[in-house]
């Protein structure tokens, strides 16, 4: 349809020219600018539990500048987020990864990576990952979005997970430790000829193992019989060892369990124990009578012990003479120095105990009517014990 304008007068003509001039300055529609985005996977085929590495390359195909760019990646159901570069933010509830950029020019768009892990229990045969880019032109007008995708084939495979724990973190020389080894086939295929082994490092002595574990004293390996593990199958084994009595205090003993098989990657787990040997002194004291009279004697018995797992050295026992008493005697080589009795007990082996006595005389000038309490205290110390 053709439209004809009749110019009535110069004023109308001027108005028309102004309108045409304004139309000429209206920005180009955003549809004149175009995004593009490509996504490629480094892997063609993957097994459950393995990683997929994607390279994402957005671009501005037409136009000079794009602003407020948002790149969104929806994770495939068979995968989980592992990592990303370029400032990608993972949102677990929505299973999306998002990149945001203020602007980029034609030929100056950044590239970045996304790494996903295939779920070990997936039954999917492929993972198709799609990414979308949105943004505006330099005038803030929304541009057409663009999509990119990549498909990776998922193969059936066994995937073994193993964990190992020790019954104690700190162990004394001569004590026993029980290792618990738990395993599971979290893949989607049967694991063939799964063999679990455990090497006993220096400081560990084999005691026993469950479910047919066999110890080879020549190699210090404990080996369990080979078995097939169906997808989802799990189990638990026990290994009991003893710490060598000559193991040095502060030693860290690392113990590793390993599962190998015909059709899956090796699985390892380690449990550490710390060797801790130290003396632990104890002291108790009692009097032969609960009540005494002036000019009477009190015999104090001091019982001491090393309840730790190492020798206590340089032991000194001191008992301070109670008020209103005088020193009479001491057993075990105790020496009175005018204010206290001192015993130099030298060393005390682990679990070793002993006792000494101190006799004091209550002053005759003390009156029963004074109702005096005679308090006595003693201390036990060592050069290598707290």
The 10s digit of each residue's pLDDT in 94-115 is 999 999 999 988 888 899 999 9
Residues pairing with 148 in the sheet: 131
Amino acid 139: pLDDT:
87
Region 329-345 average pLDDT: 96
Q: Which pLDDT band, with edges at 50, 70 and 90, does 9 fall under?
A: low
Distance CA 326, CA 323 (A): 8
- What backbone torsions phi and psi does residue 133 show, to the nearest 5 degrees? -120, 135
- CA 87, distance to chain mean position in Å, is 26
More confident residue, 166 or 109: 166
- The residue among 350, 171, 310, 309 whose CA lies nearest residue 252 is 171
pLDDT of residue 320: 96
In the numeric block, the tokens 């060598």 are attached to 244
Q: What is the C-alpha to C-alpha distance for residues 358 and 180, in angstroms, rounded to an integer?
A: 52
Q: What does 41-52 look like in DSSP terms, one character per residue?
A: ES-SEE-TT-EE
Question: For 173-184, what is the mean pLDDT?
Answer: 95
Tell me the mean pLDDT in the region 110-127: 93
Query: What's residue 32's pLDDT?
Result: 59
Query: Of 104, 256, 277, 260, which Cα lies nearest the Cα of 196?
Result: 260
Indicate if the pLDDT at residue 236 is higher than 50: yes
Identify the pLDDT of residue 69. Answer: 94
Q: pLDDT higher for 78 or 19? A: 78
Tokens representing 380 are 């036990």
pLDDT tier at 347 (50, 70, 90 boundaries)?
Answer: very high
Torsion of CA 211, 212, 213, 219, to 10 degrees: 180
Domains and CATH numbers, the chain: 30-154 (2.60.40.680), 160-275 (2.60.40.1530), 281-381 (2.60.40.290)
Mean pLDDT for 349-355 is 92
**0.75 cut: is pTM over it?**
no
Structure tokens belonging to residue 112:
């970045």
Q: Is beta strand 79-84 parallel, antiparallel or unpaired with respect to 112-118?
A: antiparallel
pLDDT for 8 beyond 50: no
The Cα–Cα gap between 370 and 376 comes to 18
Cα→Cα distances 153→119, 125, 126, 230, 231, Å = 13, 6, 4, 22, 20
Q: Which residue has the higher pLDDT, 164 or 369?
A: 164
- 11 — pLDDT class (breaks 50, 70, 90): low
CA atoms within 13 A on the CB side of 196: 29
Tens of pLDDT, residue by residue over 258-293, are 999 999 999 999 999 999 888 889 999 999 999 888
Percent with pLDDT over 70 in the chain: 91
Q: For all residues of the chain together, what is the average pLDDT?
A: 89
pLDDT of 336 reads 97
pLDDT in tens, 310-330: 889 999 999 999 999 999 999
Q: State residue 13's pLDDT score.
A: 57
């Amino acid at each position: 349809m053709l439209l004809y304008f009749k110019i009535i007068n110069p004023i109308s003509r001027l108005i028309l020219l102004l309108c045409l001039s304004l139309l000429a300055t209206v920005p180009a529609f955003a549809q004149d600018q175009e995004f593009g985005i490509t996504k490629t996977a480094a892997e063609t085929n993957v097994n459950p539990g393995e990683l997929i590495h994607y390279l994402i390359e957005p671009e501005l195909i037409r136009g000079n500048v794009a602003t407020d760019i948002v790149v969104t990646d929806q994770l495939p159901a068979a995968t989980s987020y592992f990592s990303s570069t370029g400032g990608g933010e993972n949102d677990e509830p929505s299973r999306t990864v998002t990149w945001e950029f203020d602007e980029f020019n034609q030929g100056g768009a950044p590239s970045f990576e996304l790494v996903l892990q295939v779920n070990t229990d997936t039954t999917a045969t492929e993972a198709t990952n799609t990414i979308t880019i949105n943004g505006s032109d330099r005038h803030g007008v929304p541009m057409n979005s663009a999509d990119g995708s990549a498909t990776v084939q998922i193969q059936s495979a066994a995937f073994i997970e193993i964990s190992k724990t020790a019954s104690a973190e700190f162990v004394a020389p001569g004590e026993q430790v029980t290792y618990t080894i738990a395993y599971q086939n979290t893949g989607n295929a049967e694991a063939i000829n799964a063999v679990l082994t455990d090497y006993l490092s220096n400081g560990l002595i084999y005691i026993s193992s469950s479910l047919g574990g066999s110890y080879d004293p020549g190699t210090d390996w404990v080996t369990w019989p080979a078995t097939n593990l169906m997808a989802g199958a799990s189990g638990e084994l026990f290994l009991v060892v003893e710490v060598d009595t000559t193991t040095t205090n502060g030693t860290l003993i690392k113990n590793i369990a390993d599962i190998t098989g015909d059709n899956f990657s090796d699985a390892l787990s380690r449990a550490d124990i710390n060797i801790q040997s130290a003396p632990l002194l104890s002291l108790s004291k009692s009097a032969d009578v609960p009540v005494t009279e002036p000019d009477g004697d009190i015999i104090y018995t001091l019982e001491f012990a090393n309840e730790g797992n190492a020798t206590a050295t340089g032991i000194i026992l001191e008992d301070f003479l109670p008020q209103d008493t005088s020193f009479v005697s001491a057993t075990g080589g105790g020496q009175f120095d005018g204010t206290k009795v001192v015993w130099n007990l030298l060393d005390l082996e682990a679990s070793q105990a002993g006792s000494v006595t101190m006799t004091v005389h209550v002053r005759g000038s003390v009156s029963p009517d004074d109702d005096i309490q005679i308090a006595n205290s003693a201390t036990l110390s060592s050069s290598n014990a707290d």
